[in-house]
Structure 1
Amino acid sequence: METGSPQDAGTRGDGTTEPVWRGLPPGLLRMRRLLLVVWLGLIALVLGVLLYLFAGPAWAALAVLPLALTAWGWVLLGRNWRSWRYAERADDLLISRGVLWREETVVPYGRMQLVEVTSGPVERHFGLASVQLHTAAAATDATIPGLEPAEAERLRDRLTELGEARSAGL
Structure 2
Amino acid sequence: MTSHAGLSPFDPPDVEWTPVSPKLARARFIMVAVVGGLPLAGGVVAAALSGLAWLWAVPAVIGLLMLWDGLLIPRQVRAIGYAERADDLLIRKGILFRSLVVVPYGRMQYVDVQAGPLARAVGIASVQLHTASPGTDAVIDGLPPEEATRLRDRLASRGEARLAGL
Q: TM over 0.5, yes or no?
A: yes
In 2 relative to 1, CA 169–138 (structure 1 residues): closer, same or farther, beyond 3 Å?
A: farther
Alpha-carbon offset, residue 81 of structure 1: 1.1
CA deviations 1:86-126 (Å, max 9, x no partner) are 00000100001111122110000011101000111111111
Q: In structure 2, what residue type is equivalent to 1:26?
A: P
Runs of 4 or more off by more than 3 Å in structure 1? Answer: none
Q: Which runs of 5+ in 1 are unaligned?
A: 1-15
The question of 1:115 aligning with 2:125 is answered: no
Partner of residue 61 from structure 1, selected from 52, 56, 65 = 56
* Count of aligned residue pairs for this structure pair: 154
Q: 2-side partners of 1:118 and 1:85: how far apart?
A: 18
1:166 aligns to what SS in structure 2? Answer: helix
Partner of residue 92 from structure 2, selected from 66, 74, 96 = 96
1:47 aligns to what SS in structure 2? Answer: helix
Note if contact 1:114-1:134 (Cα within 8 Å) is conserved in structure 2.
Answer: yes
2:82 aligns to what SS in structure 1? Answer: strand
The question of 1:75 aligning with 2:85 is answered: no
Root mean square deviation, CA, Å: 1.9
Q: In structure 2, what residue type is equivalent to 1:106?
A: V
Q: 1-side partners of 2:110 and 2:120: how far apart?
A: 22
Name the residue aligned to 2:101. 105
Q: In structure 2, what residue type is equivalent to 1:58?
A: A
Alpha-carbon offset, residue 57 of structure 1: 5.3
1:159 aligns to what SS in structure 2? Answer: helix
Partner of residue 33 from structure 2, selected from 37, 41, 57 = 37
Q: 2-side partners of 1:31 and 1:68: how far apart?
A: 20
Alpha-carbon offset, residue 146 of structure 1: 1.2
Note if contact 1:52-1:59 (Cα within 8 Å) is conserved in structure 2.
Answer: no
Q: 2-side partners of 1:61 and 1:77: how far apart?
A: 26
Once structures 1 and 2 are overlaid, which stretch shifts more, 141-150 or 77-86? 77-86
Q: In structure 2, what residue type is equivalent to 1:138?
A: P
TM-score, length-scaled by structure 1: 0.83
Q: Which runs of 5+ in 2 are unaligned?
A: 1-11
Q: In structure 2, what residue type is equivalent to 1:61?
A: W
Name the residue aligned to 1:152. 148
Q: 2-side partners of 1:72 and 1:20: how far apart?
A: 30
2:146 aligns to what SS in structure 1? Answer: helix
Name the residue aligned to 1:133. 129
Q: 1-side partners of 2:13 and 2:23: how far apart?
A: 30
In 2 relative to 1, CA 81–23 (structure 1 residues): closer, same or farther, beyond 3 Å?
A: same
